[in-house]
Amino acid sequence: MKILGICSSPRMEGNTFYYLKTALSEAEKLGAETELIQLSGKKISGCRTCYECVNAKKCTQEDDFQEIFEKITRADGLLLASPVYHSCITPEMKCVLDRAGFSGRWAKNEMKETKSSYEWKGSALSGKIVAPVTVARRAGQNFAFAEILLWAAANDCIIVGNTYWNVGVAGKGGAYNANEDQEGIGIMTRLAGNMVDVIKKLNAEVNYEQA
Ligand SMILES: Cc1cc2nc3c(=O)[nH]c(=O)nc-3n(C[C@H](O)[C@H](O)[C@H](O)COP(=O)(O)O)c2cc1C
């Protein structure tokens, strides 16, 4: 059971990192293999709308995206964590989501000239268990959270719920103070449990069918 956490703060080991690490540490205690990638310092451009992935079956832009996409495809679960910037996810996260979603789709499908809708054969992201995590000083969580949810919902992923939205409240004046947010820490801990449960249940079903 592999869970990959992607942290899109431009600063290393900030608040978003703290919440994500909390969730991943808990997931490890519950038996998952985990990895946390910080996008800070990585070179990942936005989608350039070249459509080369349609025929190449992969994103043809050579930068640090390739390594991250490889890890995404190998993970069962994805925790996508972003600070809130003007009520949105950060550009770093947007670049990854756009390129993974688009090239992931064409990895499994042909572009057809037809009047009927596409007969989609899934995506490289099909069946990934996904949950957003957003972190704000005060406001704008809903929109940023929804950006990640909407991406997952249109990329054949399975979204994990919680008893509250997976949000952290920290960072007034740039403070590194996520460790003071007891409620947020509790939310991340429960999120990890829910993600591990969903992965286990899905695997149990597959094993049953094979038996
Ligand atoms: C460019 C920028 C835009 C921000 N926009 C918001 C916002 O819309 N709402 C909010 O509550 N906090 C906002 N913040 C504050 C950050 O979300 C907050 O400090 C967060 O803890 C930073 O996470 P990090 O430590 O992982 O980088 C913004 C910060 C920056 C630098």
pLDDT confidence of residue 173: 97
Q: Tokens 């800070």 — which residue?
A: 40
**Is the beta carbon of 112 within 6 A of some atom in ligand 1?**
no
C-alpha distances (whole Å) from 110 to each of 81, 123, 141 are: 31, 11, 36
pLDDT in tens, 148-158: 999 999 999 99
CA–CA distance, 4 with 32 (Å, rounded to integer): 10
* Domain containing residue 51: CATH number: 3.40.50.360
CA–CA distance, 102 with 110 (Å, rounded to integer): 13
User: What values do phi and psi take at 179, rounded to 5?
Assistant: -65, -15
Give the number of domains in the chain: 1
- Nearest by Cα to 122 from 132, 134, 107, 137: 107
pLDDT confidence of residue 204: 85
C-alpha distances (whole Å) from 23 to each of 1, 123, 179 are: 15, 26, 13
DSSP state of 10: S
pLDDT confidence of residue 92: 98
pLDDT under 50: residue ranges of the chain: none
User: 5 near 34, Cβ under 8 Å?
Assistant: yes
Q: Whose CA is nearest to atom 21 of ligand 1?
A: 171
Q: How far is the CA of 147 from the centre of ligand 1 (A)?
A: 16
Q: Whose CA is nearest to atom 7 of ligand 1?
A: 86
CA–CA distance, 95 with 63 (Å, rounded to integer): 12
Give the residue numbers spanning the domain of 11: 2-210
Which atom number of ligand 1 is nearest to the Cα of residue 87?
8
**Is the beta carbon of 168 within 6 A of some atom in ligand 1?**
no
pLDDT confidence of residue 205: 61
- The alpha carbon of 117 is separated from its chain's Cα centroid by a whole number of angstroms, namely 28
pLDDT confidence of residue 210: 58
